[in-house]
Amino acid sequence: MRRFWYLASLARKSAWNRRGTLALVVLCIALSTLLLLGIERIRGQIRENFVQAVSGVDLVAGARGGSIQLMLYAVFHLGGATNNMGWESAQRIAAHRDVAWTIPLSLGDSHKGYPVVATSPDFFGRYRFRADRRIEFTAGRAFDALFDVVVGAEVARKLGYRPGSPLVLSHGNSETLLAEHADKPFVVSGVLAPTGTPVDRALYISLAAMEAIHLDWQGGAPVPGFRVRADQVRKFDLTPKSITALLVGLKSRSRVFALQREIGGWKEEALMGVMPGVAMDQLWRMLDTGERALLLISALVTLTGLAGLASAILAGLGERRRELAILRSAGARPLDILFLLACEGVMLVFAGIVAGLLGLVLLLLGIGPMLAERYGIVLYFSWPGREECLLLGSIVAAGFLTSLIPAWRAYRISLSDGLTLST
Amino acid sequence: MLVAGGVLPETLLPEIRRWKVSCRVPPLGDCFRVMSITSSSADFAVALRDIRFSWPGQARPVLDIAELLIRPGERVFLSGPSGGGKSTLLGLIAGILLPERGSVTVGGTALHTLGAPARDRFRGAEIGFIFQQFNLVPYLSMIENVLIPCHLSPRRRARALQRADTLQEAAAHLLARLDLAPALWQRPVRRLSVGQQQRVAAARALIGAPPLLIADEPSSALDADSRDVFLKLLLGECALAGASLLFVSHDAALAGAFPTALRLDDLNAAPREETP
Ligand SMILES: Nc1ncnc2c1ncn2[C@@H]1O[C@H](COP(=O)(O)OP(=O)(O)O)[C@@H](O)[C@H]1O
Ligand SMILES: [Mg+2]
C-alpha cells in the first residue's frame, strides 16, 4: 500500500515537473468536461424553468399559427408576437360548458424592457406555477382603478417601485420617448412576491387599461390630430377587441381533446388550442437535435483531449527511460512502472475534470444573471445529478483506459530495457 | 580432470581464487574449477556458474562464463571493451535478466530459481546500483533521490532506520559523508555537476546498507580529478559498510584502485563479434 502511495506521489511530481507541456492537455479535458456537463445542466435547468413557469392550464387558445410560438410569447413573453384572437371568440370559449375558468392575456407594450401584460383580475387568483403555488402580493393589491398597474418582484426590485409609484408604459418594445404613453401615467397598486417565473419580470394591467391607452393609436403610432385625454377615456367603450391568448382551465381534463378539436374547427375565426405539455415537448424535440449535435461535439473534444493526453505522456517517455531504469534498479517491478504511468494519466484527467467543474461554476455565475435578466431563466446551484455523475464517470473511465496506452508502452520499455540503456 | 574433491586445504582457497580472479595463471583454471564446486555458492556474495546468455534475436551468445565468484566484502574491478557484455552481466547479477543456463547466486539466493517479482524484490532489498550518468530522477530533490530504494523496498527502509531516527536523517548522513554539503541539498538535481550527481547516486546505492553494490561505468563521465574523489569515497564507504562491490569499466587504468581486478574477456568464452 505504502508503495502505491509512493508511486502516486512520484506520478504527481513528474506531472508537475512537466506542467508546461501537460497544461494544454488538462485544459482540453477541462473544456470537454465543461461542455459536456454545461450542456447537460443548462438544458435541464432551462427545461425545469419552463415546466415550472405555468401549471394547471389545460389549453392555451390563440390565433392559428405556430403552437410553440404562441406558448413562448403568451406564457414566457419570448420571441415574436403572434396574431391576435377576437374577444368574441374568447368569450365564446369562456362560456363553453366544459370550461371552468379562463384568463385572457394581451401583450404588446413594455416598460423599460419588461413586458406589460393586460389580463383580468382573475389572473392573480387563478395562475399556478411550480405544481400548485399561487401568486402572492408582498405589498398592495390587484389593479382596481383603470390606471393601476401590478409589478412583478424583479421589476419592483430593479426599478425600486412600491405601491403608489407612478410609471409610464411604452408602446411596443421600443423605449423611445415618441412611443411612450406619457399622457396616461399609471400608478403601482401592488407588488408580487418572487416566483422564479416570467411573472417576476412582467407588469400587469387590466384589459380596459390596455384598451384605454390605445384609443388614440393606430398600428404603431398615435393617430395624427386625435387625442384622448386620460380623464376622457371612460366615455369610450373599453371592452377589448382582441387579445393575444386565452389560458383555459377545464372542469374535466378528459375533455381537452374534444375542446381542442372544437376550437380548431370554428368557421368564424381561425383559432387553435395548444396543450402546454405537448407544445413544450415539441420545443424540446426541436432543441434536442441541436443539443445532440453539441453533445457530439463535446464528446469529440473529450476524445481530442484524451488523445492529447496519451500522446503527451507517450512523447515524454523517450526522455524518461533513464528514470524508469533507475526505478527498476531500485527494485520497482514492471507492473509498478505501469501503475506509475497510469496514475499520472488518471491524475491529469482528474485535474482536467476539477478545472472543468470550476470553470462551469464560474460560467454559470457569469451567465446566470444574464439569462435571468434577458429571459427570466433562473439558474440555481445543485450538486451533480445521476446523469452528470455518469458523464463524469465515463470521462474518468475513458481517461483511465487512455492512460493505459502510455503505461503499457512504459511497461514494455522497462521490460526490454531492464538496466541496460543505450544512451 | 576430476581431482578428488577438496584435496587442497581450505586455507589455500583464497590464494588460488585470487590467481583465478586476476587470471594471471590460466593453467590453474581447471584445478580451481574443481575446487570451487566443492564450496557452496551460498558462501559468496556473487556466484555465477556455467552461465550462458544471448539477447533475443542474436544467434551468438554474448556471455559464456564458466564461473565468477565474489566473496562477501570483496571489492572487484571488472574491465572489458565496450559492447563486450559487461552491462549484460550486471543485468544477470541484478536479476533483471535470466541466463539460458547456469546458476546465478547472489548473497546465497539462487536468482535463476525465482520468478520476476521475487527477483525485483530481491534487487531492491539487497543490491545498490549506480549507472554511468543521468543517475537521478530530475523531478525529485537530492534527498528524495537518495531515498528511492527505501520507498520501494521495506527491507532497505528498515535497515536505514536501524542507523537513523528518520529516513531524512539517514540520507543526510550519507550525503554528508559523500562530501555533499547541506547547502546543495535543495538545489534542483539537474543543476549539480556530474561528479556531485554520481555521489548522490552512490548515496542512493548505499542507503539501507545493501550487501552488494553494482556500479556500471559510474566514473566514465567524470574528469580525472572528480573520478579519483568518487572512487576513493565509494571504496571507503563500501569498506565501512562491509559491502561487496562490483565495479565495471572499459577503462582498465582504474584497476589499481581495487584490491581485485578481473577482465571480462578472460572470464567470457563467448566469441567476440568480429568488427567489420
Ligand atoms: N537490451 C538489449 N537488447 C538487445 N541487445 C542488447 C541489449 N543490450 C545490449 N545488447 C547487446 O549485447 C552486447 C553487449 O552489450 P553490453 O552488455 O551493453 O556491453 P558493455 O556494457 O560491455 O558495453 C552488445 O552487442 C549489444 O548490442
Ligand atoms: Mg555497458
A351-392, pLDDT tens digit by residue?
999 999 999 888 888 887 777 766 667 776 677 778 788 888
Q: DSSP for A328-397, please give it.
A: HHTT--HHHHHHHHHHHHHHHHHHHHHHHHHHHHHHHHHHHHHHHHHH-PPP------HHHHHHHHHHHH
Pocket of ligand 1 (CB under 6 A): A 420; B 55, 62, 80, 82-88
Q: How far is CA A267 from CA A89, A157, A246, A263, in A?
A: 11, 46, 18, 9
Q: DSSP for B156-181, please give it.
A: HHHHHHHHSSSHHHHHHHHHHHTT--
**CB of A78 within 8 A of CB of A114?**
no
User: φ and ψ at A375, to 5 degrees?
Assistant: -120, 0
**Of the candidate ranges A238-247, A360-369, A395-404, the one whose mean pLDDT is the lowest:** A360-369
Nearest ligand to the CA of B216 is 2
Is B65 among the domain residues? no
Structural domain for B248, as ranges: 72-99+109-267
Other beta carbons less than 10 A from residue A9's beta carbon? 14
Mean pLDDT of B220-224: 85
Mean pLDDT of B204-216: 94
Residue with cell 534475436: B57
* H or E, element range at B216: strand B212-216
Subunit contact A336:B149, Cβ cutoff 8 A: no
Residue B4 has pLDDT above 80, yes or no: no
**CB of A152 within 8 A of CB of A163?**
no
Please give the interface size between A and B, counted as residue pairs whose CB atoms are below 8 Å apart: 78
Distance from CA of A403 to the nearest CA of B (A): 20
> Ligand 2 centroid vs B17 CA: distance in angstroms?
26
Is B95 among the domain residues? yes
Long-range contacts at A183-187 (CB < 8 A, ≥ 24 apart):
A183/A227, A183/A229, A183/A230, A184/A147, A184/A212, A184/A213, A184/A230, A184/A233, A185/A147, A185/A230, A186/A147, A186/A148, A186/A149, A187/A145, A187/A147, A187/A148, A187/A149
Nearest Cα residue to B51 out of B37, B39, B63, B36: B63
Give the single-character DSSP code of B88: H
Cell of B44: 559468496
Q: Give the pLDDT of residue B19.
A: 43
Q: Give the pLDDT of residue B56.
A: 86
Kindly give the pairing relationship between strand A128-129 and strand A137-140. unpaired
Subunit contact A419:B131, Cβ cutoff 8 A: yes
Kindly give the pairing relationship between strand A245-250 and strand A99-106. antiparallel
Beta-strand (E) ranges in A49-123?
A: 59-63, 85-86, 99-106, 110-111, 114-119
Minimum Cα–Cα distance from A9: chain B residue: B140
Q: Residue type at B155?
A: R
**CB of A80 within 8 A of CB of A107?**
no
Residue B187 has pLDDT above 70, yes or no: yes
Q: How far is CA A348 from CA A28, A30, B78, B166, B274, in A?
A: 11, 10, 45, 32, 50
Q: Give the pLDDT of residue B3.
A: 35
Structure-model confidence comparison of residues A170 and B25, the more confident one:
A170
Nearest Cα residue to B20 out of B42, B41, B35, B38: B35
Is B32 among the domain residues? no
Given its phi and psi angles, is residue A265 left (phi above 0), alpha (psi -120 to 50 degrees) or beta? Answer: alpha
Given its phi and psi angles, is residue A107 left (phi above 0), alpha (psi -120 to 50 degrees) or beta? Answer: beta
Distance CA A142, CA B5 (A): 120
Between the CA atoms of B128, B132, B137 and B142, what dihedral angle is there, to the nearest 10 degrees? 70
pLDDT tier at A420, thresholds 50, 70, 90 = low
Q: Which of A5, A12, A13, A419 to mutate to test the interface with B (most CBs of B within 10 A)?
A: A419
Between the CA atoms of B81, B82, B85 and B87, what dihedral angle is there, to the nearest 10 degrees? 120
Nearest Cα residue to B259 out of B14, B18, B17: B18
CB contacts of A13 in chain B (<8 Å) are 139-140
> Ligand 1 centroid vs B42 CA: distance in angstroms?
29
pTM value is 0.73
Q: Give the pLDDT of residue A320.
A: 86
Give percent of chain B above pLDDT 90. Answer: 52
Subunit contact B156:A326, Cβ cutoff 8 A: no
Other beta carbons less than 10 A from residue A200's beta carbon? 22
* H or E, element range at A411: helix A386-417
Residue B247 has pLDDT above 50, yes or no: yes
CB contacts of A333 in chain B (<8 Å) are 116-117, 120-121
Atom of ligand 1 nearest to the CA of B88: 17
CB contacts of B136 in chain A (<8 Å) are 326
Mean pLDDT value across chain B: 83
Is B273 among the domain residues? no
A228-237, B203-212, B224-233 — most confident range: B203-212
Mean pLDDT value across chain A: 87
Q: Give the pLDDT of residue B83.
A: 86
**CB of A245 within 8 A of CB of A61?**
yes
Subunit contact A329:B156, Cβ cutoff 8 A: no
Subunit contact A327:B148, Cβ cutoff 8 A: yes
> Ligand 1 centroid vs B199 CA: distance in angstroms?
26
- The separation between the first and the last C-alpha atoms of chain A, rounded to the nearest angstrom, is 34
Three-class SS of residue A118?
Answer: strand
Is B116 among the domain residues? yes
**CB of B196 within 8 A of CB of B180?**
yes
Subunit contact B152:A330, Cβ cutoff 8 A: yes
Give the single-character DSSP code of A223: P
Query: Is A239 part of the contact surface with chain B (CB cutoff 8 Å)?
Result: no
Q: Which of B126, B135, B152 to mutate to test the interface with A (most CBs of A within 10 A)?
A: B152
Q: Which of B133, B134, B204 to mutate to test the interface with A (most CBs of A within 10 A)?
A: B134
Is B28 among the domain residues? no
Other beta carbons less than 10 A from residue B129's beta carbon? 28
pLDDT in tens, A19-75: 988 898 899 899 888 888 888 777 777 777 787 888 889 999 999 998 899 988 988
Give the single-character DSSP code of B27: G
Is B129 among the domain residues? yes
Q: Give the pLDDT of residue A115.
A: 92
Distance CA B108, CA B114 (A): 13
Residue B23 has pLDDT above 50, yes or no: no
Long-range contacts at A259-267 (CB < 8 A, ≥ 24 apart):
A259/A59, A259/A96, A259/A98, A259/A99, A260/A59, A262/A96, A263/A59, A263/A61, A263/A93, A264/A64, A266/A89
**∠ CA B204-B205-B210 to the nearest 5 degrees?**
125
Ligand 1 probe mutation, B62, B65, B77, most atoms within 8 A of CB: B62
**CB of A347 within 8 A of CB of A29?**
no
**CB of A118 within 8 A of CB of A106?**
yes
Residue B228 has pLDDT above 80, yes or no: yes
Q: Give the pLDDT of residue A271.
A: 93
CB contacts of B90 in chain A (<8 Å) are 419-420
Subunit contact B124:A331, Cβ cutoff 8 A: yes
Distance CA A217, CA A223 (A): 5
Query: Is A122 part of the contact surface with chain B (CB cutoff 8 Å)?
Result: no
Subunit contact A333:B149, Cβ cutoff 8 A: no
Nearest ligand to the CA of B131 is 2
Distance CA A287, CA A284 (A): 5
Question: Number of folded domains in chain B?
Answer: 1
Distance CA A234, CA A237 (A): 7
Subunit contact B137:A326, Cβ cutoff 8 A: yes
pLDDT in tens, A259-293: 999 999 999 999 999 999 888 888 888 888 888 88
Is B211 among the domain residues? yes
Three-class SS of residue A412?
Answer: helix
ipTM for this model: 0.82
**CB of B216 within 8 A of CB of B90?**
yes
**CB of B137 within 8 A of CB of B148?**
yes
Cell of A106: 394581451
pLDDT in tens, B46-93: 999 999 999 888 888 999 999 999 999 999 999 998 888 899 999 999
CATH number (domain holding residue B251): 3.40.50.300
The tally of CA atoms less than 13 A away on the side-chain side of residue A154 is: 21
Residue B273 has pLDDT above 80, yes or no: no
Mean pLDDT of B254-271: 87
**CB of B135 within 8 A of CB of B146?**
no
Q: Whose CA is nearest to atom 18 of ligand 1?
A: B87
Q: Give the pLDDT of residue A174.
A: 61
> Ligand 2 centroid vs A325 CA: distance in angstroms?
13
